[in-house]
Structure 1
């Protein structure tokens, strides 16, 4: 646990008592603060009370009297589509609003931090797609080469739940736009921006607000070194703002398709990762046989992770060996099994069109399981990426809407995962990939994308 500093003997309100909220309350108490906890859910309040926390109704008048700060869980909107009433009341009372990420960066460098011979360093990863795999891959690389590492944030443990870092340790954080948008302190040593595509637009008031939330990690965090994906205009804009010129070594540009030969750059083309510095190629790594990193989107993740490791002075061949041993993450291009030349791949995390497009480009012939709770615009933007789809098997609430947007691609309305997997497996031929890449949220049939992926995995394992 990381004790929160700066609030000793003071009252700090905590709104939202899920994983991050309870973690923040524990760390506040460990740092000498009094945590005043509130959640709209009676069950959540009861769990907090059973743990000994003070339950304090933040919706009543005068609730913020003598309160030094309000700590908000990431799922609670603070601006769009409209501010939560408790957050609005905190603003009115002049109480600063923060989240667990802000508390983490505020507290991490205190205490015995400077007593380390090699101070621990923080790598923070954000972006629309690939940030979980990139963060996990960075953690894997450092662990494989013998450098102590912890993984936290939007993946793994809450940031305040990690152990106080050891000498020379690397802390890898995956940070969502919900987390970067509100944190009052953002000071990573290395910051990574993977890419940007439309997502969470209602929460951020549109694409500009969504990008602005990501940008805060770089513009306000002041990292020593930045790794920026430049395949979208926003990435190129961000890269341009952060440095004085092409040769500024504080920036590593990455791409999943462009050849980048200026400054310090890392890109992947035709399955090979290349590193260029000062106009010359210095490294080439063959990614094609790495089963844990299939497809161009995972090659971009490899470029981002490779660059972050290089930013902290790991050697190219050390990184290459670690990349080859990475097995991938559950629900993200996860190879579940293979039978009679047919591969079964679980990419349940492909909850939006951009992520699904990347999955559809990763395999030569696909039996595509898609559907769920569709997002604005449906899947019409996937039309250019359906060439490898032999047939679509549609499930969930948006199955019929998706069917209307498939053009000439064969499809079948299956409704449930069980039916879709059985149909796809029965019709698949050697060389096919049965791919779950829903292009939709899971909440019509499952509590989250993990449960959806677990159902797919269970159905496949039963067949195998």
Structure 2
């Protein structure tokens, strides 16, 4: 646990008592604050009370008297499309609003660090797609190289739930726009921007607000080094803002769209090969094609970002290459879950929008595509340029019929359920085919979340493949 510092003896309200909220309350109390907890869910309040935490009804007229701060969970809206009623009252009362990420950055460094020869560092990863894989990959490479590391944030443990850092340790954080948007302190040593595509636009008041939330990771505290994907205009803009000159190697530009040139520090992947250039000269190259845990250009972008980070932390290209080869991938993200008769079964249940589904469709040849669920605005029309590799689509869930209307000449079958879709795809697949779950839709029509959907696919596949 990271005890929260700076609030000793003061009343701090905690709004939202899920995983991060409960961890925040514990960390506040460990640091000497009085955590006053609230959630509009009676079930969540009961869990907190059973843990011995103090409840504090934020709907009371005097609820904000004598509060030093309100700490809110990231899923609770604080501005768009409208502030949560309790957060709006905090604004009116002049009570500062923060989240667990802000508390982490104000509390992570301790006086004990004065005794360390190598102080701990924080790597924070944000972007639209690839955050989880990039974060996990950085963590994996560091551990494989014998460097102490912890993984937290939007993946793994809550940021205040990790252990205080030891000598030379690296904490890798995956941060969503919900987390970076509100945090009052953001001071990573290395910050990563993977890419940008439209998402959560209602929460951020449009694409500009969404990008602004990501940009705060680089603007609020100013990382010592920034790794920036420059395949979208926003990334090129961000890299340009952070650089003092063309040869400023505090900014490492990454790409999977083009060869990067110039006097600075670049890492890019083309035709399956990752290349590192510094001062206009190539210093390393890695063949990513044999690496089963990193299929497709989207994973090559993740590899470029992770490579840039660990190189900035002092690892050698040879150390990085060995670790990349042993990375097995994350569950529900281009995860190979079975193989039989020359047919591969890949779980990319995390592909809940067309951008991530497009990346999955470009990663494999001869695809038996399982898609559908609770479709988003526009359906799958944006995937038309990526359907050439699809031998047949097997459609499930609420949007199955809507998706069928957008498939044009692509063969398809409305299966309704995952069970039938897996069965039909497995029956019709030929050696060399890939049965790919990349839904391009949310899961909430049939499953609690994308993990449950991916687990169901995996269970059905393994029952067939052993």
- Tell me how far apart the structure 2 counterparts of residues 414 and 60 of structure 1 sit (CA, whole Å): 51
- Tell me how far apart the structure 2 counterparts of residues 32 and 254 of structure 1 sit (CA, whole Å): 43
- Tell me how far apart the structure 1 counterparts of residues 273 and 138 of structure 2 sit (CA, whole Å): 19
Give the match for residue 108 of structure 1: 108
Give the match for residue 380 of structure 2: 379
- Tell me how far apart the structure 2 counterparts of residues 361 and 392 of structure 1 sit (CA, whole Å): 15
Deviation at 1:114, TM superposition (A): 2.6
Does structure 2 conserve the Cα–Cα contact (< 8 Å) formed by 1:261 and 1:277? Answer: no
Does structure 2 conserve the Cα–Cα contact (< 8 Å) formed by 1:372 and 1:440? Answer: yes
Q: Secondary structure at the match of 2:352?
A: coil
Deviation at 1:354, TM superposition (A): 0.4
Give the match for residue 284 of structure 1: 285
Residues 312-359 of structure 1: per-residue CA shift (max 9 Å, x gap):
111111111111110100000000011111000000001111000000
Give the match for residue 267 of structure 1: 268
- Tell me how far apart the structure 1 counterparts of residues 290 and 177 of structure 2 sit (CA, whole Å): 33
- Tell me how far apart the structure 1 counterparts of residues 271 and 365 of structure 2 sit (CA, whole Å): 14
Residues 155-213 of structure 1: per-residue CA shift (max 9 Å, x gap):
00000000001100000000000000000000000000000111111111111111110
Does structure 2 conserve the Cα–Cα contact (< 8 Å) formed by 1:9 and 1:33? Answer: yes
- Tell me how far apart the structure 2 counterparts of residues 221 and 260 of structure 1 sit (CA, whole Å): 27
Q: Secondary structure at the match of 1:103?
A: helix
- Tell me how far apart the structure 2 counterparts of residues 105 and 376 of structure 1 sit (CA, whole Å): 36
Residues 33-60 of structure 1: per-residue CA shift (max 9 Å, x gap):
0000000110110110111111000112
Q: Secondary structure at the match of 2:173?
A: strand
Q: Secondary structure at the match of 1:156?
A: coil
- Tell me how far apart the structure 2 counterparts of residues 379 and 235 of structure 1 sit (CA, whole Å): 25
Write the mapping of 1:325-364 to structure 2, written as runs, cut at 5 A.
325-364=326-365
Does structure 2 conserve the Cα–Cα contact (< 8 Å) formed by 1:335 and 1:345? Answer: yes
TM-score after normalising by structure 1: 0.99
Does structure 2 conserve the Cα–Cα contact (< 8 Å) formed by 1:11 and 1:68? Answer: yes
Give the match for residue 419 of structure 2: 418
Write the mapping of 1:95-244 to structure 2, written as runs, cut at 5 A.
95-244=95-244
Give the match for residue 40 of structure 2: 40
Does structure 2 conserve the Cα–Cα contact (< 8 Å) formed by 1:261 and 1:280? Answer: no
Deviation at 1:404, TM superposition (A): 1.1
Deviation at 1:257, TM superposition (A): 2.3
Structure 2 unaligned residues grouped into runs of 5+: none
Residues 76-125 of structure 1: per-residue CA shift (max 9 Å, x gap):
00111100000000000000000000000010013323321111000000
- Tell me how far apart the structure 2 counterparts of residues 361 and 219 of structure 1 sit (CA, whole Å): 34
TM-score after normalising by structure 2: 0.99
How large is the RMSD of aligned CA atoms in angstroms?
0.7
Give the match for residue 30 of structure 1: 30
Deviation at 1:398, TM superposition (A): 0.9
- Tell me how far apart the structure 2 counterparts of residues 111 and 458 of structure 1 sit (CA, whole Å): 49
Structure 1 unaligned residues grouped into runs of 5+: none
- Tell me how far apart the structure 2 counterparts of residues 12 and 343 of structure 1 sit (CA, whole Å): 52
Does structure 2 conserve the Cα–Cα contact (< 8 Å) formed by 1:228 and 1:235? Answer: yes
Give the match for residue 256 of structure 2: 256
Does structure 2 conserve the Cα–Cα contact (< 8 Å) formed by 1:186 and 1:220? Answer: yes
- Tell me how far apart the structure 1 counterparts of residues 415 and 350 of structure 2 sit (CA, whole Å): 20
Give the match for residue 453 of structure 1: 454
Write the mapping of 1:64-103 to structure 2, written as runs, cut at 5 A.
64-103=64-103
Q: Bigger CA drift: 290-299 or 113-122?
A: 113-122
- Tell me how far apart the structure 2 counterparts of residues 36 and 407 of structure 1 sit (CA, whole Å): 56
Give the match for residue 463 of structure 1: 464
Q: Secondary structure at the match of 1:118?
A: coil
Give the match for residue 21 of structure 1: 21
Give the match for residue 10 of structure 1: 10
Q: Bigger CA drift: 376-385 or 179-188?
A: 376-385
Give the match for residue 61 of structure 1: 61
Q: Secondary structure at the match of 2:275?
A: strand
Does structure 2 conserve the Cα–Cα contact (< 8 Å) formed by 1:123 and 1:172? Answer: yes
Q: Secondary structure at the match of 2:320?
A: helix
Q: Secondary structure at the match of 1:304?
A: helix
Give the match for residue 427 of structure 1: 428
Write the mapping of 1:293-304 to structure 2, written as runs, cut at 5 A.
293-304=294-305
